[in-house]
């Protein structure tokens, strides 16, 4: 018995060491990937991938079908920022960790806690002769893409970050996402400057099919972030942009690309389960494409993780052992789009049912009417304030107040729960496939992802 106990201790110690060292595997002896595809699903905690499994399920079968996220799952990652910001990260600090391997304070873009610049894997890949690119559904100067491309003490400095994409040297060959507001300004037209540097510029998804693969490209498709997947002209725009970007980046030296499903996080902040599932669908279709791409390009590494979880999503709430995703499958417009329409028209049971694409009750209609009345009252109170008092507060938004009521209606119908409108500190899933993907297995930290990528790029 003592021998068996001792053997158990040895095995446990060996396993512990293996787990401890997994994130810093010596890659000098192994063949490194030619291409590295880093996918960040902003805000996607484990409840999101589980919810998507049930949302995506075929109700005609007894079996709950496996999803791409189930198939590629290999571990989890911790997300905490530098100790100065506590345990709950924001997107900037987490993206800085994922991009550089360095923990920083919330709000930091490519800086450490002392506000000194840290090199990112995208910057290093460019130095190594690889092509680089970003594809996001937010504006291209939002926290996550900025943390790979820029260095700024605050994520809120959107114009300065956009300016740095030119002023600090062009670091990518492909930029796809939103951002007209920041790149086509009265004080500076950054698009003209990109064009002067040899870039082609597009502003519609249709133009993605007609790009010159021999020239770099910047594509901006909306004022700030892109429309919700439920409302966009292309509900699978992340997949569409990803395919076009990879075609642009393929070359003999290989490439590094950051892909971000940005609006999962925005849906989480809004506690919008319908929007979240549509964004997860766009991500799932993108990952299915990348899975097939990996089969055809075995020299490619693909990593998917989240920077943090948003909203404290709960599948099943109120002590009721049930979750009803069928309601979500029926929806074909976002709560935001529906609320805008309701703000301009009379709310009736028929009209609300038509917009939501499921039959609502009279009590549900009353809930939305009450929200609209409250919104009108808040706007009237705001209008009565003098100018000095108005600048101290945010003007109430009728559509936003109605939208909150609609998401609550959907939560009650589906039995969805939320604990916050912000982020949580829980670990997030890690999914990977392709060359050297096992390096990212098990329990790791977000900084380990960047450290491993640096190793695979040849940084010592």
**What is the set of active-site residues?**
91
Contacts of 310 (CB under 8 A, 6+ apart): 42, 43, 45, 264, 265, 268, 269, 422, 423, 424
Of 332, 410, 408, the C-alpha closest to 374 is: 408
Distance CA 414, CA 323 (A): 6
Contacts of 166 (CB under 8 A, 6+ apart): 190, 193, 194, 197
DSSP 8-state assignment for residue 436 = T
Helix (H, G, I), strand (E, B) or coil at 118: coil
Chain-centroid distance of CA 16 in Å reads 32
Of 377, 310, 380, 369, the C-alpha closest to 345 is: 369
User: What are the Cα distances from residue 451, in Å, to 24, 138, 208, 335, 434?
Assistant: 7, 26, 33, 40, 18
What is the DSSP annotation of 229-245?
A: TTTSSSTTHHHHHHHHH
Intra-chain end-to-end CA distance of the chain, in Å: 46
State the residue for tokens 């299915």: 288
Q: What does residue 131 show for φ and ψ, rounded to 5 degrees?
A: -75, 155
Distance CA 90, CA 104 (A): 10
User: What are the Cα distances from residue 325, in Å, to 14, 23, 67, 115, 408?
Assistant: 44, 37, 15, 45, 15
Contacts of 214 (CB under 8 A, 6+ apart): none
Q: What does residue 315 show for φ and ψ, rounded to 5 degrees?
A: -95, 95
Of 70, 50, 122, 9, the C-alpha closest to 431 is: 70
- At residue 194's C-alpha, the angle toward residues 189 and 199, to 5°, is 145
Q: Which helix (H) or strand (E) holds 445?
A: strand 442-445
Helix (H, G, I), strand (E, B) or coil at 375: helix
Chain-centroid distance of CA 18 in Å reads 31
């Amino acid at each position: 018995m003592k021998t068996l106990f001792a053997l158990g201790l040895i095995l446990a110690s060996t396993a512990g060491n293996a787990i401890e060292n997994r994130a810093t595997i010596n890659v000098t002896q192994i063949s490194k990937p030619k291409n590295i595809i880093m996918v960040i699903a902003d805000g996607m905690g484990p409840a999101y991938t589980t919810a998507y499994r049930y949302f995506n399920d075929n109700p005609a079968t007894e079996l709950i079908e496996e999803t791409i996220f189930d198939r590629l799952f290999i571990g989890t990652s911790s997300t905490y920022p530098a100790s100065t910001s506590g345990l709950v990260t924001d997107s900037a600090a987490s993206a800085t960790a994922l991009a550089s391997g360095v923990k920083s304070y919330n709000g930091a873009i490519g800086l450490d806690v002392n506000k000194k610049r840290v090199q990112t894997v995208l910057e290093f890949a460019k130095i190594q002769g690889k092509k680089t690119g970003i594809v996001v559904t937010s504006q291209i100067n939002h926290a996550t893409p900025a943390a790979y491309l820029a260095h700024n003490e605050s994520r809120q400095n959107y114009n300065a970050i956009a300016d740095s994409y030119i002023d600090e040297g062009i670091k990518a060959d492909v930029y796809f996402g939103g951002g007209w507001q920041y790149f086509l300004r009265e004080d500076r037209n950054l698009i003209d400057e990109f064009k002067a540097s040899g870039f082609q510029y597009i502003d519609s998804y249709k133009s993605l099919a007609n790009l010159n693969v021999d020239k770099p490209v910047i594509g901006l498709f909306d004022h700030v972030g892109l429309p919700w997947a439920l409302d966009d002209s292309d509900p699978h725009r992340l997949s569409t942009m990803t395919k076009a970007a990879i075609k642009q980046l393929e070359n003999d030296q290989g490439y590094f690309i950051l892909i971000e499903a940005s609006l999962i996080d925005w849906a989480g902040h809004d506690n919008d389960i319908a929007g979240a599932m549509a964004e997860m669908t766009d991500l799932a279709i993108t990952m299915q494409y990348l899975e097939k791409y990996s089969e055809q390009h075995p020299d490619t590494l693909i990593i998917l993780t989240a920077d943090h979880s948003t909203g404290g999503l709960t599948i099943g709430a109120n002590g009721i052992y049930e979750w009803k995703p069928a309601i979500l499958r029926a929806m074909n417009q976002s709560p935001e789009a529906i609320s805008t329409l309701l703000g301009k028209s009379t709310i009736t049971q028929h009209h609300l049912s038509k917009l939501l694409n499921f039959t609502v009750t009279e009590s549900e209609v009353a809930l939305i009417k009450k929200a609209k009345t409250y919104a009108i009252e808040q706007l009237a109170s705001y209008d009565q304030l003098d100018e000095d008092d108005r600048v101290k507060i945010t003007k109430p938004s009728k559509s936003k107040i109605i939208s909150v009521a609609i998401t609550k209606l959907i939560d009650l119908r589906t039995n969805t729960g939320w604990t916050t409108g912000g982020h949580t500190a829980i670990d997030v899933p890690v999914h990977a496939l392709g060359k050297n993907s096992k390096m990212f297995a098990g329990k790791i930290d977000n900084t380990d992802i960047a450290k491993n990528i640096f190793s695979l790029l040849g940084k010592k």
